[in-house]
């Protein structure tokens, strides 16, 4: 039987990124969808994050010239999701917390050849794509801030495009933009700017004085 990672089909993912880069994101997403959380009671529990991840489909992975500055490149990753009843608030529209979870949904990989992926989210996945495509190594940090603006509601059955692009990749600060579009109703649902910081290497502790 083939390893799970060998069963990942990248042919349905659009974009000019290499098949290896697409494979990395797809296999990470797949591993999250099939994960389970252990409970003391022994009752099967898929897990909060795995449930959310199961709603996402990866549709595009690209590295493109920036429209405003063609000499600069940007990573672009697009996911799709369809709003269902489990995502709704009391008013019958997409819950803001659910939407935030989609934007900052974490997927991870432990494949030995993926030193590039540690932990990434929908909004920060283009950071990996740009780094892996240009330097062969993606760098991730920890979230410093996630600023979301909610523009319009989404209803059951609405199809969403979660479009993520890089803004800046500094030595310490990494920033991305995420736009969630309702392609059923042709309107913007939410936009966000996500800032990550690359943590400093831990300092060696001083020896205790005798």
pLDDT at 37: 56
pLDDT at 138: 66
Q: Residues 101, 58, 61, CA angle at the centre, nearest 5°?
A: 110
- Whether the predicted model's global pTM rises above the 0.85 cut: no
pLDDT at 40: 61
User: 192 falls in which pLDDT band (50, 70, 90)?
Assistant: very high
pLDDT at 2: 40
CA distance 6 to 19: 12
User: 107 falls in which pLDDT band (50, 70, 90)?
Assistant: low
Domains of the chain from N-terminus onward? 9-197 (3.10.129.10)
- Tell whether the model's pLDDT for residue 1 goes beyond 90: no
- Tell whether the model's pLDDT for residue 13 goes beyond 90: yes
pLDDT at 99: 92
Radius of gyration of the chain measured on its C-alpha atoms: 18
User: 9 falls in which pLDDT band (50, 70, 90)?
Assistant: confident
Q: Which residue has the higher pLDDT, 48 or 155?
A: 155
Average pLDDT over residues 170-195: 94
């Amino acid at each position: 039987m083939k390893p799970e990672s060998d069963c990942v089909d990248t042919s349905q993912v659009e974009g000019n990124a290499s098949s290896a880069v697409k494979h990395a994101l797809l296999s990470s997403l797949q591993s999250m969808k099939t994960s389970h959380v252990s409970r003391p009671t022994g009752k099967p529990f898929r897990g909060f994050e795995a449930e959310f991840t199961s709603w996402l489909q990866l549709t595009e992975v690209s590295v493109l010239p920036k429209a405003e500055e063609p000499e600069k490149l940007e990573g672009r990753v697009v996911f799709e999701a369809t709003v269902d009843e489990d995502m709704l608030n009391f008013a019958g529209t997409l819950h803001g917390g659910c939407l935030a979870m989609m934007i900052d949904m974490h997927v991870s990989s432990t494949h030995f050849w993926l030193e590039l992926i540690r932990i990434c989210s929908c909004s920060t996945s283009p950071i990996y794509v740009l780094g892996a495509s240009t330097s062969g190594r993606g760098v991730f940090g920890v979230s410093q801030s996630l600023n979301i603006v909610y523009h319009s509601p989404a209803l059951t059955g609405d199809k969403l495009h979660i479009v993520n692009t890089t803004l800046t990749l500094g030595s310490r600060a990494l920033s991305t933009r995420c736009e969630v579009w309702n392609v059923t109703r042709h309107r913007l649902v939410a936009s966000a700017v996500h800032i990550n910081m690359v943590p400093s290497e831990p300092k060696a502790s001083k020896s205790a004085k005798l």
